[in-house]
């Protein structure tokens, strides 16, 4: 097997590990309080991903530690706005996918899941860039850490994609969920190929730096947009005050647990 073929095979394993969450997504226990908890954990994971992506891009934006690079900062801000506003426009188009269901964000569970998958796909594109760039320069020690960390992190990313369906009664077809998971996972391979051939993490060119900043900003903007409707659904009022209080407590604990899971997986 050639070096590139081996690299792409490992990148595929890393990116498509998102499918390992599928059995839990389809578990009969993913209803009621479990659904609330998994939805909240999905929000926590997305919050962690925001922090994780920004921690990767911040050294580029602040090369001296405290003074921002003006050009890169403008590029970051514009890309963030493009992703956030772009998803808002798509999510509010007439006739969007599909008709809303009770308790779901206005765009319906499928369109919400699609938007989450797109945001995670952009984030995984950046992971592929990191893996490909380090493979190309032969940084074996870094590669081992990156592979294990990204593999485990991608396992958790299936929950945010599936979260709009949990507790709604909306049918989760295997083909449909497979498509959403591929949207989230396959960009890892694209990013890997680009990183392998064009990105040198040791000596980034100005073009590479702008490219990385823009991709990271698009991912952050997409995930930031996705979190808002998920929070709106998580805290929607229930029929009694007592039930709302109990549900809210579970949401707080779930978000904390999701963030902790993301942090611990990333630290391995």
What local confidence, expressed as pLDDT, does residue 97 receive? 47
256, pLDDT greater than 90: yes
Query: Pick the residue with more confidence: 189 or 87?
Result: 189
103, pLDDT greater than 70: no
Distance CA 253, CA 268 (A): 23
How would you class 119 by CB atoms within 10 Å of its CB: exposed for 0-12, middle for 13-18, buried for 19 or more? Answer: buried
What local confidence, expressed as pLDDT, does residue 101 receive? 40
Mean pLDDT, to the nearest integer, of 46-65?
A: 87
Lowest-pLDDT choice from 18-27, 96-105, 180-189: 96-105
For residue 211, the tally of other CB atoms under 10 A from its CB is 17
| Beta-carbon contacts of residue 169 (< 8 Å; ≥ 6 apart) | 101
Mean pLDDT, to the nearest integer, of 128-141?
A: 82
pLDDT digits (tens, 9 = 90+) for 164-213: 887 666 667 888 999 999 999 999 999 999 988 888 776 778 888 898 89
pTM of the model: 0.78
CA distances from 262 to 33, 99, 153, 222, 253 (A): 21, 32, 7, 18, 14
Distance CA 94, CA 100 (A): 12
Decide: 88 and 226 in contact? Cβ < 8 Å. no
48, pLDDT greater than 70: yes
Query: Pick the residue with more confidence: 220 or 201?
Result: 220
């Amino acid at each position: 097997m050639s070096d590139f073929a081996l690299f792409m095979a490992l990148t595929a394993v890393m990116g498509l590990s998102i499918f390992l969450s599928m059995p839990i997504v389809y578990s009969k226990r993913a209803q009621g309080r479990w659904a609330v908890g998994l939805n909240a954990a999905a929000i926590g994971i997305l919050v962690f991903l925001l922090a994780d992506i920004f921690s990767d891009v911040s050294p580029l934006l602040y090369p001296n530690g405290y003074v921002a690079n003006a050009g890169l900062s403008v590029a970051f801000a514009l890309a963030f706005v493009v992703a956030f506003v772009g998803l808002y426009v798509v999510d509010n188009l007439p006739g969007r996918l599909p008709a809303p269901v009770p308790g779901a964000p206005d765009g319906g569970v499928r369109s919400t899941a699609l938007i989450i998958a797109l945001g995670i796909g952009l984030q995984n594109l950046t992971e592929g860039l990191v893996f490909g760039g380090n493979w190309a320069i032969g940084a074996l020690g870094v590669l081992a850490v990156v592979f294990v960390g990204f593999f485990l992190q991608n396992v958790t990313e299936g929950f945010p994609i599936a979260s709009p369906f949990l507790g709604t009664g909306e049918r989760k077809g295997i083909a449909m969920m497979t498509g959403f998971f591929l949207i989230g996972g396959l960009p890892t391979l694209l990013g890997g190929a680009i990183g392998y051939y064009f990105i040198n993490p040791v000596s980034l060119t100005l073009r590479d730096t702008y490219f990385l900043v823009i991709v990271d900003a698009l991912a952050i903007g997409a995930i930031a947009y996705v979190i808002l409707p998920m929070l709106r659904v998580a805290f929607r009022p229930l029929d009694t005050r007592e039930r709302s209080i109990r549900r809210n407590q579970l949401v707080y604990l779930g978000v904390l647990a999701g963030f902790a899971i993301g942090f611990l997986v990333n630290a391995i």
